[in-house]
Structure 1
Amino acid sequence: MAATVITPHCAAALRAAIALGTAAWGAVPARAQELPPPAYQIAAAQSGVPSSVLYAVALQESGTRLRGRLVPWPWTLNVAGTPQRHATRVDACLALRRAMRDTPAERIDVGLGQVNAGYHAHRVQQPCALLDPYRNLGIAAEILHEQHRPGEDWLAAVGRYHRPAGGPPAARYRGAVQRHLARVLGNPQAMASLNPRRETTP
């Protein structure tokens, strides 16, 4: 994948992305809790999902390195297995429209949560709406909530978010998200906050 060059022309977009955590440059001390950015907290609360889980999913789905820090990038596409990072929402929308002319929508994932443009087409009026980072997070949170079953660990829902049928792909994905989650929560003991007895949004 070619590296994206973030130029001064992107400065306004980066400022607007502060609430999404994509412009937070400060270093996070080792083992310190990394509070999910405000946009994740809001989307998670609206769907009854732990904000730390939603943020960890976004890190796995669209995470990219900016100034040495892994952050979710809102204008990320995955077209038939090939990831793309675009500098602006406009660029990403143009690329998405081009991709949909040649690639089935079911093979295109979009945005922070890499929402599938085919299977979740009913959630938006048109595909480029998935590039609205707030809407994308809202949909990702809705999907996580739909995949969660009462009394089970949230990581099980995370696996089905990636692959509803489960199996080894879902298990590998759970493991990857769990590593991000451990970083976000700051220590292994904090994972207990996601057990079935405490399903409130952090």
Structure 2
Amino acid sequence: MGPRHVLALALSLAAVDAGAAVAAVPETARVCLDVADRAADAHGVPRAVMRALTRAETGRARGGALQPWPWTVNMEGAGRWFDTRAEALAYVKREQARGARSFDVGCFQINHRWHGDAFPSVDAMFEPAANADYAARFIAGLYAETRDWARAAGYYHSRTPEFFTRYRARFERIMAAGDPEAPTVAVAAPPAVEETFRPAPGEGPLFGPRLSRPGLWRAAGPAKPGGVALRNVAAARPLIRAAARPLID
């Protein structure tokens, strides 16, 4: 085989390897989309709403589209994407050993501090189907309260007006961008009157302050050992905290 043939073969093999790597990205991103659909169907939530929610929580631009990522962790304000579940879990375990307690994991960024007792283990919180089911039940309850999916998504994040408004706007932008793989759903326009944010019955406000979460983060540069660091591109975002036992952080 001559030099030209060797070079051509090498380039061809490189192209195949590159193509396989690119193909793996949508496949991993699809994990969140698939469980979003199943949880949506199980709890009466439009599929487009759940898909937009996971993109708002963990999405990053890949292949010209905002793709969710199941192995996303926000560790006390520091957000990272990991290539695998094992890497994400190992990172969480290391940080827990150092004393970390408040962190968000998975397709829908469920917080361990407030909701870890709903799962048998941290590893179980990373399970995409369980993560999505938890989120779907919560946003379905918020829709029952508001009768407006965009407002429910805002409340999923926070009832603090500043954070609620910013997150709802992000959710609406994602919904407006559309999803060719899911049915569209109308998102009601916000009311013209001033929003009223009510405290939850019992112990104070439904939501309390928190650090930022990955929904409004982007990659801070080349991948680093232990995940891709995220850089905040918006102001700090609040911790979703329910009165007696919060459902979602």
TM-score, normalization: structure 1?
Answer: 0.71
The one-letter code of the counterpart of 2:89 is: C
The one-letter code of the counterpart of 1:160 is: Y
CA contact (8 A) 1:185 1:191 kept: no
SS at match of 1:120: helix
Name the counterpart of 1:4. Answer: none
Within-5 A mapping of 1:38-117 = 38-106=34-102, 108-117=103-112
SS at match of 1:168: helix
CA contact (8 A) 1:155 1:178 kept: yes
Separation in 2, partners of 1:170, 1:49? 20
Separation in 1, partners of 2:139, 2:146? 15
1:160 aligns with 2:171: no
Separation in 1, partners of 2:129, 2:147? 27
The one-letter code of the counterpart of 2:31 is: L
Identity %: 28
Shift of 1:151: 5.7
Which of the residues 163, 178, 190 maps onto 1:169? Answer: 163
SS at match of 1:97: helix
User: CA 1:103–1:150 in structure 2 vs 1: closer, same or farther (change >3 Å)?
Assistant: same
Within-5 A mapping of 1:122-137 = 122-137=117-132
1:120 aligns with 2:115: yes
Give structure 1 stretches of 5+ with no counterpart.
Answer: 1-6, 22-36, 196-202
User: CA 1:94–1:10 in structure 2 vs 1: closer, same or farther (change >3 Å)?
Assistant: farther
Separation in 1, partners of 2:54, 2:148? 18
Separation in 2, partners of 1:81, 1:38? 27
Q: Which has the higher contact order (CA 8 A, sep 6+)?
A: 1
CA contact (8 A) 2:46 2:185 kept: no
Give structure 2 stretches of 5+ with no counterpart.
Answer: 1-17, 189-249
User: CA 1:72–1:99 in structure 2 vs 1: closer, same or farther (change >3 Å)?
Assistant: same
Aligned residues: 168
CA contact (8 A) 1:182 1:191 kept: no
Show CA shifts across 1:86-116 (max 9, x none): 110101111111222335433x111111111
Which of the residues 109, 128, 135 maps onto 1:140? Answer: 135
User: CA 1:100–1:8 in structure 2 vs 1: closer, same or farther (change >3 Å)?
Assistant: farther
Q: Greater CA deviation, 46-55 or 97-106? A: 97-106
Higher Cα Rg, which structure: 2
1:182 aligns with 2:193: no
Name the counterpart of 1:3. Answer: none
Separation in 1, partners of 2:34, 2:153? 21
User: CA 1:15–1:176 in structure 2 vs 1: closer, same or farther (change >3 Å)?
Assistant: closer
> Which portions of structure 1, spanning 4 or more consecutive aligned residues, are displaced by more than 3 angstroms?
7-19
